[in-house]
């Protein structure tokens, strides 16, 4: 059985993960609007990953005998100044999510909830990858700048993501 404190914290994280999916969906729409189909595809795959993260928390709460409580998902912004600005936001967002996961780990330790601590280790590792991917793309976008030909090459490269 999961404690009420942990249940509430995990329910908040379900919402945060679905917000992340919503944010990346808005970013995909932005990239579609500027005909950067590769960037848009990369973001759509990211949407699915974030939804899967939310589902993982959702299923875990249920498996531990908790009650899932879904909250309102805040609307993300929909316009950015450039692809670089999008990935600056992605990097900041992933760092924020890492902080949220770390806070859940701290709570699991405080609650002496070993099962939740163990489940969260997957997310700790996942956030290392998320931050690495986001910062890598930001570095590439920063390197090519606003040169259309270079951006379109990067767009083509990102469109190959499976």
**Residues 6+ positions from 146 with CB-CB distance below 8 Å:** 82, 84
CATH topology of domain 4-158: Ferritin (1.20.1260)
**Interatomic CA distance for residues 155 and 101, integer angstroms:** 30
What was the pLDDT predicted at 26?
98
pTM assigned to the model: 0.94
Residue written as token pair 């993960």: 17
3-state secondary structure 22-48: HHHHHHHHHHHHCCCHHHHHHHHHHHH
Give the pLDDT band of residue 129 (cuts 50, 70, 90): very high
H/E element, 102: helix 83-110
Look at residue 119 and tell me whether its pLDDT is greater than 80: yes
| pLDDT tens-digit map of 91-114 | 999 999 999 999 999 999 999 999
* Domains of the chain by residue range: 4-158
Look at residue 161 and tell me whether its pLDDT is greater than 90: no
What was the pLDDT predicted at 147?
78
């Amino acid at each position: 059985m999961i404690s009420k404190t942990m249940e509430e914290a995990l329910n908040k994280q379900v919402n945060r993960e679905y917000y992340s999916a919503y944010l990346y969906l808005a970013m995909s729409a932005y990239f579609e609007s500027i005909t950067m189909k590769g960037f848009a595809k990369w973001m759509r795959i990211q949407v699915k990953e974030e939804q899967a993260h939310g589902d993982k928390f959702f299923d875990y709460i249920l498996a531990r005998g908790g009650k899932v409580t879904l909250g309102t998902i805040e609307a993300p912004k929909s316009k950015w100044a450039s692809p670089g600005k999008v990935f600056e936001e992605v990097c900041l967002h992933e760092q924020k999510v890492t902080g949220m996961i770390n806070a859940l780990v701290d709570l699991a330790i405080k609650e002496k909830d070993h099962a939740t601590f163990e489940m969260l280790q997957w997310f700790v590792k996942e956030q290392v990858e998320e931050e690495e991917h986001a910062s890598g793309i930001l570095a590439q976008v920063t390197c090519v700048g606003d040169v259309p030909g270079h951006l379109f090459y990067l767009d083509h490269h990102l469109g190959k993501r499976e």
